[in-house]
Amino acid sequence: MSAPFRSGFVTLVGRPNVGKSTLLNRVVGTKVSIVSDRPQTTRTQVRGVRTTAETQIVCLDTPGIHKPRTLLGERCNRRSLSTLAEVDIVCLMVEANAAIGPGDRFVAGMVQQVVTPKILVVNKTDAATRAEIAAHLAEATTALGEFDAYVPLSARTGKGVDALLGEIEARLPEGPVYYPDGMVTDQPETFLAAELVRERLLAVARDELPHSISVTAEELEPSPASPDVLRLRVVVRVERDSQKGIVIGKGGEVLKRAATGARLELEALLGVRVYLETTVKVERDWQRRAHALDRLGL
C-alpha cells in the first residue's frame, strides 16, 4: 500500500534581507519572487509551489518584519505576522554571518506564540565559518526559544536546502494536491511582470529611491497582428518629480533596460512572447496614504 500524499503551507518569516525570497526560489527550483540586497523588497505574500510524487509544499515568502516608518511598512508587518497561524509549518530565518539582534528576537517571540511546528533556518552559511555557524546555532537555541528543527543552509548556493526540505516534508500533514503538477506559483502574469520590472529598477536606483517605487501591470487586448503575444501595460509610480527622471534615465535608457530585462525573464518563465508598454507617473507620498495602498493592492 502506497504512503498517503502529504501537502501543506509553509511560511518564511524573519527580519528584512535574511534571504527569504532567495530561499523560496531555491525551494521551487525557479524564480517566482524578486530578489534585491535592499531590505523590504518583498511587499506582499508570494506563493511558490514544489510538487513531487509524494508531497506538495506551498511556500509563502513574506515581507521582512521591521520597525515601520510608513503605513506601507505597517501593512507589510501585519501581512507577515498574519501567516503564522494560517500555515502548517513556520520557518524563522536568521543570518549566520550576523549577530542575533532585537529584530530577530521580536519575530521569534511572535513565532513562539503559535503551536504550529517551527523550524529555525540559519541562512547565509556560505558567508560564515563552521565555528561561527556552530556558535550561532548555540546562541539561537537560548535567544530565540525552542524549535522542532534547526537547519543551517545557504539559499544562494543551495547547500543544506535538501536537509530543510526533508524536515518540512517530515512534518507535512496528509492532504490534497492544491496546485496542478508543473505549476510553480499562483501569481498572475501581471504581478510577475510588475515585480520583475521593479527588481530591475531597484538594481539601478538602489540608493536613490528603493522604497519609493511601486509598479503595477495590466493585460492589454491582444493585437490582431500578433495574437499569440502577451501584451501588458506596466505603470511605474514614484513619489517625486525628481525620482521620475531617475527611473526614466537619460534618453529613457534606464526604463528601457529594466523593461527589456523583465520581458526576457517573463518570456522564459511563461514560455510565451511578451510585449511591455511602460510609463512612469508621480503619485505623491503613496506609501503613506491608505487609499493609494488599497488601489495598488498593498
Question: pLDDT digits over 181-208, tens only?
Answer: 888 887 777 878 888 888 887 776 655 5
Residue 121, pLDDT above cutoff 90: yes
The torsion defined by the Cα of 53, 90, 78 and 143, in degrees rounded to 10, comes to -160
pLDDT digits (tens, 9 = 90+) for 161-170: 999 999 999 9
Residue 72 has pLDDT above 80, yes or no: no
Evaluate if residue 40 carries a pLDDT over 60: no
Cα(174)–Cα(212) distance, integer angstroms = 43
Which triple of cell numbers denotes residue 141? 537555541
Q: What are phi and psi of 159, to 5 degrees?
A: -65, 125
Nearest to 124 by CA among 17, 30, 219, 274: 17
Average pLDDT, integer, range 133-155: 89
Question: CA nearest 286: which of 43, 4, 28?
Answer: 43
DSSP state of 283: -
Q: How far is CA 182 from the centre of its chain?
A: 20
Mean pLDDT of 226-235: 85
Q: Report the C-alpha gap between 117 and 89 in whole angstroms.
A: 5
Of these ranges, 127-136, 154-163, 195-204, the one predicted with the greatest mean pLDDT is 154-163
SS3 content of the chain, % helix, strand, coil (to 5): 40, 20, 40
Strands 214-219 and 230-238: antiparallel
Helix (H, G, I), strand (E, B) or coil at 120: strand
Domains and CATH numbers, the chain: 6-171 (3.40.50.300), 189-295 (3.30.300.20)
Task: Report d(CA 70, CA 215) in Å as an integer.
Answer: 18
Residue with more model confidence, 75 or 182: 182
